[in-house]
C-alpha cells in the first residue's frame, strides 16, 4: 500500500467526469487509502477540456502529477486521449471511451476531427482498452450510465475490484438508479481482460 498510484481522467465538460472521480475517490477512501483529487474546471462548462487527477496510497503529498507519472489514463473522448498521453508512465494503461465530440475549430470547418487516434495510441502505449460506453449504456437501458461503465473498466484495470463498490454507488447515486449503475459498473469491468 506504500506506493502512490495516479489516475488521470480526461474528457469534455458535461460527460460526467466529476461524478466518476467522486465515485472513485469514495471507494478508495472507504478502502483506507489517503486520497487527493484535483480537478480543472474553470471554463469547462463552456465546452472546454476537463481533467481530474486522483492519487491514492498510504500518504499522498502533491494533489497533481507531472508528465510520465500516471499509472492509467482514462479518456471519455477519443481525441482528448492523445492530448494527455504524455502524462502516462511508459508501462501505464490506457482506457478509451471511443466517442467523438467535435471541438469549436472542427465545427467551424477550420479543422477535421483527427483520424486514426486509437491506432496511433496502440502503437505507443502497451495496454490500450477501447470500448463504446455510450452504446453499452444504451444496451442496459440508460445512456447516462456511460460514465459508470468507464469507472468499472478503470476499477478492473487498476485491480481495485475488492473494494465494496456496491456501497459506494449506494452512497453516491439516487436509490432508483442504484441497480442500473451496479449493472453498468460490472459491464465496465467486463471490458477489461
Partner 1 sequence: MKKFMTGNEAVARGAFEAGVTYASAYPGTPSTEILENMAQYKELIAEWAPNEKVAMETAIGASVAGARTLAAMKHVGVNVAADPLFTWGYTGVTGGFVLVSADDPGCHSSQNEQDNRYYAKFSKIVCIEPSDSQECLDYVKEAYKISEDFDVPVLFRMTTRTCHSKGLVELGERQEVPMVPYVKKPLKYVAAPATARILHPIVEDKLARLEAFSNESPLNRVEMNDTKIGIVTAGVAYEYAKEVFGDSASYLKIGMSYPLPMAKIKDFASKVDQLYVVEELEPFMEEQMKAAGISCIGKDLIPNIGELNPDIVSKALLNEERPTMSLADDKKVSRPPTLCTGCPHRGFFYALSKKRNVMVTGDIGCYTLGASAPLNTIDSVICMGGSISMAHGAKQAFVKNNVEQKVVSVIGDSTFFHTGVNSLMTVAYNNSNTVHCILDNRITGMTGHQQNPGTGFKLQGEESKQINIEKLCEAIGIEHIVTVDPLNLKEVDQALEAAFAFEGPSVIITRWPCALKKFSEQDIAEFDLSPRQYKVDEEKCRGCKVCIKTGCPSLSFDGETKKAKIDPNSCIGCSVCSQSCPFDAIGKVVK
The contact mask relative to partner 1 for 110-149 (x = CB under 8 A, - = no) is xxxxx-xx--xx--xx------------------------
Coil/strand/helix, residue 185:
helix
Interacting residue with partner 1 among 80, 145, 148, 180 (CB under 8 A) = 80
Contacts of 138 (CB under 8 A, 6+ apart): none
Cell numbers linked to 165: 463498490
CB 89 within 8 A of CB 8: no
Q: Smallest distance, Å, CB 67 to partner 1?
A: 5
Nearer to partner 1, 67 or 170 (CB): 67
Binds partner 1 by CB under 8 A, chosen from 58, 105, 138, 166: 105
Residue 46 or 176: the one with the smaller Cβ distance to partner 1 is 46
Residues of this chain that interact with partner 1 (CB under 8 A) are: 12, 25-26, 29, 34-49, 60-69, 79-80, 82-83, 85-90, 102-114, 116-117, 120-121, 124-125
Amino acid at each position: 500500500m506504500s506506493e502512490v498510484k495516479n489516475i488521470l481522467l480526461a474528457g469534455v465538460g458535461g460527460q460526467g467526469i466529476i461524478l466518476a472521480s467522486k465515485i472513485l475517490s469514495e471507494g478508495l477512501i472507504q478502502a483506507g487509502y489517503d486520497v487527493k483529487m484535483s480537478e480543472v474546471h474553470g471554463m469547462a462548462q463552456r465546452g472546454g477540456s476537463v481533467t481530474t487527477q486522483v492519487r491514492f496510497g498510504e500518504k499522498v503529498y502533491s494533489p497533481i502529477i507531472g508528465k510520465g507519472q500516471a499509472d492509467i489514463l482514462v479518456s471519455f473522448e477519443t481525441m482528448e486521449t492523445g492530448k494527455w498521453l504524455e502524462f502516462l508512465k511508459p508501462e501505464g494503461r490506457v482506457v478509451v471511451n471511443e466517442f467523438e465530440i467535435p471541438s469549436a475549430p472542427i465545427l467551424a470547418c477550420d479543422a477535421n476531427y483527427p483520424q486514426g487516434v486509437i491506432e496511433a495510441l496502440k502503437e505507443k502505449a502497451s495496454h490500450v482498452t477501447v470500448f463504446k460506453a455510450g452504446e453499452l449504456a444504451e444496451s442496459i437501458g440508460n445512456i447516462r450510465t456511460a460514465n459508470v461503465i468507464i469507472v468499472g473498466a478503470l476499477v478492473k484495470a487498476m485491480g481495485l475490484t475488492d473494494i465494496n463498490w456496491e456501497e459506494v454507488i449506494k452512497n453516491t447515486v439516487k436509490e432508483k438508479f442504484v441497480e442500473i449503475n451496479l449493472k453498468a459498473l460490472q459491464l465496465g469491468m467486463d471490458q477489461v481482460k
